[in-house]
Amino acid sequence: MISYDEIKRRLQAPEKMSLRSLAAYTRVSRGPASKKTLLESLNVLGLTPSTTTSVSSSFSKLTEDTRALCDDMKDFAHDYIDYGNMAKQLIPETNTVQHWSKIIETRNHLEDMRKCFNEPVNSGAFDSVTHGLGLGMLDVALDMIIMVIEQQIRILSGAAASDPADSGPASRRIRRRHRKARSAEMEKAHKLSEGVKEQGKVISKGKGRGKARKKIRQETGGVVPVETQAEQCKSDDVESNVLTLVSVGYETVSSGLNAAGTV
């Protein structure tokens, strides 16, 4: 299945895919009847193919899955390029302080260059005609160069001395998996803390309602209904859960609850 937006984008500039190219792209039979059916289907959606394809290249065979290709290339570069060894080879024996200053300036310039490339006014057409692969691979290339620079900075600063010994691509893949796992755990903890903050807001509102009920009970001498008692117990349970999470060490959650005035 090919999405409507994908077909629409292929029929617009700069590619302007023709009916014949679109038939080949969608694996439709080349017979006149099949092309006619395809054209009628496009007309129903308000799409009209060009008579000829303006830009045809190997990129025309690619779809929005180019992001996965770029991610894989980035992973392969991380696993199979020995950045540490490259960094050592590129550090001069003399004038290391001057070299340090120069590579930091180079890294900053490369980041500015990345931002400039990502501006649609500069390379929007290039990104469109390569279907996302062009700028994606450019990001990978810049990441590789910046990685070598950062390794040199770590060596010159002495921070690399505490790094574990590199035993090849296998160990780098393991470290990458651990890094991704830690990143996922941090994201999960952040979402949990946001959820607990929302619970803290609910608790503060529940306490306000509880005080109002207590005041009414004192004034009227009546008994709180069973439903009200159940709600109060439920709020107490939620508050207990929040306090348990705070005690485990969610400092951000604790600050959020303090702001809400619940602890």
Give the whole-angstrom CA distance, residue 23 versus residue 31: 10
Going from N- to C-terminal start, the domains of the chain cover: 4-56, 59-163, 191-260
> pTM of whole model > 0.75?
no
pLDDT per residue as tens digits for the range 222-250: 444 444 455 555 455 544 444 444 444 44
Q: Point out the residues of the chain with pLDDT beneath 70.
A: 30, 63-64, 166-263
Give the whole-angstrom CA distance, residue 23 versus residue 32: 11
DSSP 46-113: T---BSS-S--SGGGG--TTHHHHHHHHHHHHHHH--HHHHHHHHS-SS-HHHHHHHHHHHHHHHHHH
Using alpha carbons, select from 28, 127, 138, 121 the residue that is nearest to residue 74: 138
Residues counted in the chain: 263
- The confidence score (pLDDT) of residue 238 equals 46
What Rg value do the Cα atoms of the chain yield, rounded?
30
Q: Do 63 and 6 touch, CB atoms closer than 8 A? A: yes
Give the whole-angstrom CA distance, residue 262 versus residue 236: 12
- The confidence score (pLDDT) of residue 33 equals 81
Give the whole-angstrom CA distance, residue 184 versus residue 164: 23
- The confidence score (pLDDT) of residue 111 equals 97
Q: Which amino acid is at 9?
A: R
- The confidence score (pLDDT) of residue 110 equals 97
Q: Is the peptide bond before 14 cis (omega within 30 degrees of 0)?
A: yes
- The confidence score (pLDDT) of residue 229 equals 53
Locus of tokens 């770029």: 70
